[in-house]
Amino acid sequence: MRAFTYHNPTRIEFGQGKEKLIGQYMAEYGVKKALIVYGSDRIKQNGLFHSVVNSLVENSIAYETLGGVVSNPLLSKVYEGIEIAKTRGVDAVLAVGGGSVLDSSKAIAAGAKYDGDVWDFFIGKGFPKQALKIFDIMTLAATGSEMNNYGVVTNEMTREKLSLAGPTTYPTVSVINPELQATVANDYLAYSASDIFAHSLDMYLSATYLPEYMAGYVENILKTVMRTTELLLADSTDYNARAEFAWAATQALNFTTFCGVENNRFDTHFLEHTLSAEYNIAHGAGLSIIMPAWMKWQKQHQPQRFERFAKIMFGVNGADAGIDALKTWYSKIGAPVTLKEGNIPETDIPMLTDKLQAVAKLWGAEALYTRDMITGVLENAK
Amino acid sequence: MRAFTYHNPTRIEFGQGKEKLIGQYMAEYGVKKALIVYGSDRIKQNGLFHSVVNSLVENSIAYETLGGVVSNPLLSKVYEGIEIAKTRGVDAVLAVGGGSVLDSSKAIAAGAKYDGDVWDFFIGKGFPKQALKIFDIMTLAATGSEMNNYGVVTNEMTREKLSLAGPTTYPTVSVINPELQATVANDYLAYSASDIFAHSLDMYLSATYLPEYMAGYVENILKTVMRTTELLLADSTDYNARAEFAWAATQALNFTTFCGVENNRFDTHFLEHTLSAEYNIAHGAGLSIIMPAWMKWQKQHQPQRFERFAKIMFGVNGADAGIDALKTWYSKIGAPVTLKEGNIPETDIPMLTDKLQAVAKLWGAEALYTRDMITGVLENAK
């Protein structure tokens, strides 16, 4: 195993009804005034917003609100939140929603304690040394944002989708009540499964050294996601399946999978973020298109890992059979697997390659993400 | 899945040479004066003590020392440490050793901030609300103490072996350098494997609801321990095996295995602590005696779980075959499996039953640990 540091300070409150205790959790950390960030007004119709506000009031926590966060969340909305936080004496951000809402909230929390432009943190000009306290109630399981410090936001002016992260942007308390995640539509459930798969497979299929322990650990996450996705597509009210799906999502990106591995990369996320920034498709849908295409390119670098994946996950022999089986499974659950299925014009491949090269340059990763590699993967997605 | 809270604030620094950075880690948390707690003088002979002290001095951290902690660590030594900490202005405890040293250090850290008798925390009179900061460098992987808040100590006056735990007794930083664990003798490696097995199996074989995700998670820990124990018995210099063994030990008792499970108990640890308090045998040796005996009693309550265990871990059919296979494996690696092999007189069973009943009463667990159950398990260990 390779050397590593593991330190994840987030407290998880998992289970039915725990959102009703959010005010109590926040009061434990001395919160006086929160900015509630959310997406659509659905949470006002289904009573969640009401429960949350009640809990804050009961615990003498004042609040401001910011609704309207969208999928592939926008920098302009983050600026709006920072303005509210700065001018109205907010000391914590409470995200009520999915990964987009929480990621926006992380950016707001960091920007509220920063004199410059919060976008600095996304383009590598330092990292947030201070931030407001972050709390969340997750209504969708996918991004794992509830137990990590990453926040992904799209700058709609430049059409760049980038991330910030710092020691201060871990949530203080994350509430996961699987019941609140039970109304997700089947297509979004499939996209979520694809997102969790990508968090796991990016590492599993790229690491140049993968401890046997970690291989088994990640395979257990993948198997859980496959099993519970199928159970939930058959019966959306299956609480235990919903709960295991949610917990697998959290584990897939709380950095436990990185412990002791060498050179794990994040290729499909790197490639996908430009797709969803450009075409505003769901992140998980972009990933189910990119993943098999990337695997066809990556298999040459990790032939044994791909054979193991094929055998253990699908009981088939050989890298290609494993890739095909995953593609078939994505189709079965309703996730797109080609550019065409994602309504992405194949003729855009040269333009996308240019864009991705520019991002690679920003990351100092041009040697890894060459034109040949990027075009090759996108061509595989035809 | 059942509701749970997960919050583990410990930072892990894993890898070769990291003990040389301990002063830096402690300085990050503002430590000015540490009490270094250790066991035998072996760490002075092999250079570890010297490295640690150098690192403290480089970071302007003063120190006191307390050596002589033994296996099944004693309350009298804890009192000694508390006295030093209180009278000499120590603000952190640094454990350099195995689980016994760290557990003693947790008790010292708690006792140093308490006006009453630290033993209060062991017998259920409250829990430590304050404690000195705790740091450690682990020279043995087994107890998982490096990423949890439990400390087990033996009161030699009463021959009680009990534990304390509180929100303040998690280590702040734990250093795991597998190289420092490479000199452990083969018998102690086997006892360590038995300890990790017990941390995993107590939960796995008792929980009345075990999410499928968690079953796979624990089986992966168990398989890692089996595989790496065999690798290390064949070649004690196998760094990656040593590292995976260490990481499996940490994962087995950092409370990740408890998330979402129902009614998991800690039966073999409950039963064993009285054995090692009474006969001063190694904790892991006591556990390898108790585990198969307890399994023979427990199998009636979880027949399907036992069948699964047998199949997945040893490829055999039926609960009894699984128990026999585990017993055979313990014997193969050199861990005792009967009272006789542990030099425990079978005629002591009635006395041990009395003692265990008294502890059960202290825990309010008489209904669970009945005379019939205790005697039955001990009889199975003949």
Mean pLDDT estimate for chain A: 96
Note whether B55 and B22 are within 8 A (CB).
yes
pLDDT digits (tens, 9 = 90+) for A168-190: 999 999 999 999 999 999 999 99
Which one, of B126, B85, B121, lies nearest residue B105 by Cα? B85
Q: Does A11 touch chain B (CB under 8 A)?
A: yes
- Spell out the residues 6+ positions from residue B361 whose beta carbon is closer than 8 angstroms to its own: none
Q: What is the mean pLDDT of residues A371-375?
A: 96
Which chain B residue is nearest to residue A17, measuring alpha carbons? Answer: B3
Mean pLDDT along residues A72-77: 96
Taking the Cβ of residue A167 and every Cβ of chain B, the question of whether any pair is shorter than 8 Å is answered with no
Question: What pLDDT was estimated at residue B259?
Answer: 97
Contacts of A227 in chain B (CB under 8 A): 212
Distance CA A14, CA A146 (A): 11
DSSP symbols for B351-363: HHHHHHHHHHHHT
Cβ-Cβ contacts under 8 Å for A278 (sequence gap 6 or more): A159, A348, A352, A355
* B-contacting residues in A 170-209 (Cβ below 8 Å): 178
Task: Tell whether A257 lies on the interface with B, counting CB pairs under 8 A.
Answer: no
Average pLDDT of the segment spanning B127-152 = 97
Looking at the predicted structure, is the pLDDT value of residue A335 above 90?
yes
pLDDT averaged over every residue in chain B: 96
Q: Each residue of A93-104: pLDDT tens digit?
A: 999 999 999 999
State whether A4 and B10 contact (CB < 8 Å): no
Provide, as residue numbers in chain A, all residues whose Cβ is less than 8 Å from the Cβ of B213: 220-221, 224, 244, 247-248
A363 touches chain B (CB under 8 A): no
Q: CB–CB of A260 and B248 under 8 A?
A: no
Could you report the predicted ipTM of this complex, rounded to two decimals? Answer: 0.96
Is B227 at the interface with chain A, CB within 8 A?
yes
Classify domain A185-380 at the CATH superfamily level: Dehydroquinate synthase-like - alpha domain (1.20.1090.10)
Say if residue A8's pLDDT is above 90: yes
User: What is the token pair recorded at B304?
Assistant: 């399907």
Q: Which member of A18, A212, A227 has the closest CB to residue B212?
A: A227
pLDDT of residue A19: 98
Separation in Å, CA of B16 to nearest CA in chain A? 7
Residue in B1, B16, B223 closest to A243 by CB: B1
B10 touches chain A (CB under 8 A): yes
Give me the residue from B3, B217, B244 closest to A15, CB to CB.
Answer: B3
Q: Is the pLDDT of residue B85 over 90?
A: yes
Which of A216, A217, A244 lies closest to B212 in CB terms?
Answer: A244
pLDDT digits (tens, 9 = 90+) for A269-320: 999 999 988 998 999 999 999 999 999 999 999 999 999 999 999 999 999 9
Domain parsing of chain B, residue ranges: 11-180, 183-380
Give A232 to chain B, closest Cα distance, Å: 15
Name the nearest CA neighbour of A104 among A142, A138, A154. A154
B376 interfaces chain A, CB cutoff of 8 Å:
no
Encoding tokens for residue B88? 């000499």
Whether residue A159 has pLDDT greater than 90: no
Average pLDDT estimate for B63-80: 97
Closest-CA residue of A relative to B222 is A213
First-to-last C-alpha distance (Å) of chain B = 38
Residue B206's pLDDT is 96
Average pLDDT over every residue of B81-90: 98
Whether residue A87 lies within 8 A of chain B, CB to CB, comes out as: no
Mutation target vs B (from A213, A225, A229; most B CBs, 10 A cutoff): A213
DSSP 8-state secondary structure symbol assigned to residue A165:
E
From B248's Cα to the closest Cα of chain A, the distance in A is: 8
**What residues in A contact B227, CB-CB < 8 Å?**
212
Closest alpha carbon within chain A to B238? A1
Contact (Cβ atoms closer than 8 angstroms) between residue B284 and residue B142: yes
Q: How confident is the model at residue B180 (pLDDT cuts 50, 70, 90)?
A: very high
φ, ψ of residue A358 to 5 degrees: the values are: -65, -40
In CATH, the architecture of B11-180 is: 3-Layer(aba) Sandwich (3.40)
Position A124 pLDDT exceeds 90: no
Q: What is the mean pLDDT of residues B273-301?
A: 95
* For residue B105, pLDDT beyond 90: yes
Mean pLDDT of A12-28: 98
Sort out which chain A residues have CB atoms less than 8 A from B223's CB and list them: 216
**Measured between CB atoms, which of B18, B217, B224 is closest to A3?**
B18
On whether any CB of chain A is under 8 Å from the CB of B343, the answer is no
Residues A148 and A205: their CA atoms lie apart, in Å, by 21
Report the percent of chain A where pLDDT is more than 70: 100
CA A243/CA A256 separation, integer angstroms? 19
Q: What percent of chain B has pLDDT over 70?
A: 100
DSSP string computed for B56-89: HHHTT-EEEEE----SS-BHHHHHHHHHHHHHTT
Residue of A4, A12, A244 lying closest to B213 (CB–CB)? A244
pLDDT bucket at B362, cuts 50 / 70 / 90:
confident
The answer to whether residue A364 scores a pLDDT higher than 90 is: no
Instruction: Measure the CA–CA gap between A151 and A299, rounded to whole angstroms.
Output: 30
pLDDT of residue B264: 86
pLDDT greater than 90 at residue B124 = no
Class of domain B183-380: mainly alpha
Give contacts of B231 with chain A, Cβ < 8 Å. none
A1 touches chain B (CB under 8 A): yes
pLDDT digits (tens, 9 = 90+) for A35-56: 999 999 999 999 999 999 999 9
Task: Enumerate the H helices of chain A as residue ranges.
Answer: 22-28, 42-45, 48-58, 75-87, 99-111, 186-204, 212-234, 239-252, 267-279, 283-298, 303-314, 319-333, 349-362, 371-380
**Is A259 in the B-facing interface, judged by CB distances under 8 Å?**
yes
Residue A39 has what DSSP assignment?
A: S
